[in-house]
Structure 1
């Protein structure tokens, strides 16, 4: 009974240590990203398609905000210019009506054109307001919703890449002749694959799973381990 309890306690301790290690490598990966340090080129290359799509999304996000600001500024300019234009038009018409020469007729014609232009300018406000509302709705619904999904995906990616860092660290200390270390490597490898899975759900699309591919150094290490293990069993 006590042996069983001890085994259970050791298993629980290992689980706690495992979680702490996961957290450590996840935090390390987050720091690498935050500080802009160079990451494994194979890992980065495997995410190239995904990163291109993210760049497009961020571009849409930026341009939507810029478009909203431009529409707002245009509205303000119209509201300022239209009354000024109308006032000038009325003034010219008034002065032109008092001047019986050809210049008076020209002033009246110009004043009339300015008043008409002022009205046309004000008429732009309604479609501009509608455009603003549509862009804002798109930003709140489509972009915000996608942004939440992207954030979740980035969390999964940080965990996944953290697991890859952990694998790399374990592989550097690995002695294939020792069964425990081989088991440890397999366990971390399984963790890396598990961390990679949620990204497919978080970022749906035909090429969203590109980040799941193991870096070349991991695949080489796994092949080397299998070769040594096979040779050892053959010798026995």
Structure 2
């Protein structure tokens, strides 16, 4: 069940036709479809101008794809930043506790007001380090939740966007074929 995607676990299974291949198509039809899809893909890669009506009809989809792309990159950068931040906090926590321990140990060699000040400062440094550790534990929990979000939501959405882009390319390839066929008929 862990490897099953959310969509597949939340449906009744009656949509199996999404995954079924169409066996009733002849080889020639499939070759023609793949040819026009490949031609459209090459046109897209070469930056050929698309029909203005097609571009306008895809404007909303393109806006959502660019929003997803920015969300994905921001999430990845945020993941790196939070990971670096918690690592720096761990280093700082360790340094503060060590400094506090050193101050307390060295205060034993001193006498009078200096010893009391060093001991008090050492205890404060150790306490600050412990509080920083508590902050870091919350940050690590947030980091784990962000990692789950990136792994599940962003990855699943990315797969959906890729499938939609493939479908769009196939659709535009079909439109190219229809345009060529209608020109031949005319």
Distance in 1 of aligned mates of 2:70 and 2:61: 14
Of the three residues 168, 173, 181, the one matched with 2:179 is 168
Of the three residues 33, 40, 47, the one matched with 2:58 is 47
Higher deviation after alignment, 98-107 or 48-57: 98-107
Q: Deviations over 1:81-136 (max 9, x none)?
A: 22222111222233335434555444333322211111111112321222122112
1:92 aligns with 2:92: no
Distance in 1 of aligned mates of 2:179 and 2:56: 17
Residue 118 and residue 39 in structure 1: after superposition, are their counterparts in 2 closer, same or farther (change >3 A)?
same
Indicate the structure with greater helix content.
1
Distance in 1 of aligned mates of 2:170 and 2:131: 57
Distance in 2 of aligned mates of 1:127 and 1:37: 51
Q: What is aligned with 1:31?
A: 42
SS at match of 2:74: helix
Question: Whose relative contact order is higher, 1 or 2, with alpha carbons under 8 Å and at least 6 apart?
Answer: 2
Distance in 2 of aligned mates of 1:164 and 1:25: 9
Q: CA deviation at 1:39?
A: 2.4
Residue segments in structure 1 that go unaligned for 5+ positions in a row: 1-14, 175-180, 183-236
Q: Deviations over 1:131-161 (max 9, x none)?
A: 1221122222222222222222112101111
SS at match of 2:150: helix
Residue 85 and residue 36 in structure 1: after superposition, are their counterparts in 2 closer, same or farther (change >3 A)?
farther
Superposed counterparts of 1:1-236, under 5 Å: 16-100=27-111, 102-171=113-182, 173-174=183-184, 181=185
Distance in 1 of aligned mates of 2:85 and 2:48: 42
SS at match of 1:25: helix
Larger Rg: 1
The number of aligned residues is 161
Distance in 1 of aligned mates of 2:141 and 2:152: 16
SS at match of 1:124: helix
Distance in 2 of aligned mates of 1:71 and 1:104: 39
CA RMSD in angstroms, aligned pairs only: 2.4
Residues 96, 105 of structure 1: 8 Å contact kept: yes
Residue segments in structure 2 that go unaligned for 5+ positions in a row: 1-25
TM-score (norm 2): 0.73
